[in-house]
Amino acid sequence: MKSKNYLLWGLALAFLFSLNSCKSKESAYKAAYETAKAREIQENQIDEVTPVSKSVIAPNDVVQKEKVTVVGDAGIQQFSVVIGSFRTKTNAESLKELMINAGYKSFLAQNADGMYRVIVATFNDKASAVAERERIKDKYYPRYQDAWILDNQ
């Protein structure tokens, strides 16, 4: 009977130890969480970025020469910054309104082929137009990277 009692107590203790060993420890969860968090932080760290040098604005920057007619009552000077060209007036109007809401005195001009040019700035000198085009390209990057200078004939 004594051996049976010892056996019963031994089995009970073994059972309790087996249940206790299956229980996950809070410290194990915490260690796994901290390891995962450290790995996530390490993956999300941004390497030091080397700034890209800006292109120098050359006075002989290429311009497109064409005769345009202003749509509306805006005035146009010789050199203008064009950020979009459209066959349909509705699309051109949409971009024009977007730029007006952004604070530009945007207007439309139409060339002999019927293309609507969305102009955001106009100048008497080429250097000012080129500088404004570069400023717009930088400000709105990556949009308007194909902005160009119109030399109104």
> What is the overall mean pLDDT for the chain?
81
Q: CA distances (Å), 136 to each of 33, 47, 105, 133, in order?
A: 46, 28, 13, 5
Question: For residue 59, what are the contacts with CB-CB under 8 A and spacing of at least 6?
Answer: 126, 127
Whether 53 has a pLDDT exceeding 50, the answer reads: no
What pLDDT shows up at residue 136? 92
How far apart are alpha carbons 104 and 123 in whole angstroms?
14
Taking the C-alpha atoms of residue 57 and residue 117, their distance in angstroms, rounded to an integer, is: 23
Residues 71, 116: contact at Cβ < 8 Å? yes
pLDDT recorded at residue 148: 93
Band (pLDDT 50/70/90 cuts) for residue 60 is: low
* CA angle 43–26–22, rounded 5-degree value: 115
Mean per-residue pLDDT, 62-89: 89
- Examine residue 59 and say whether the peptide bond preceding it is cis (omega within 30 degrees of 0): no
Q: Is the pLDDT of residue 24 over 70?
A: no
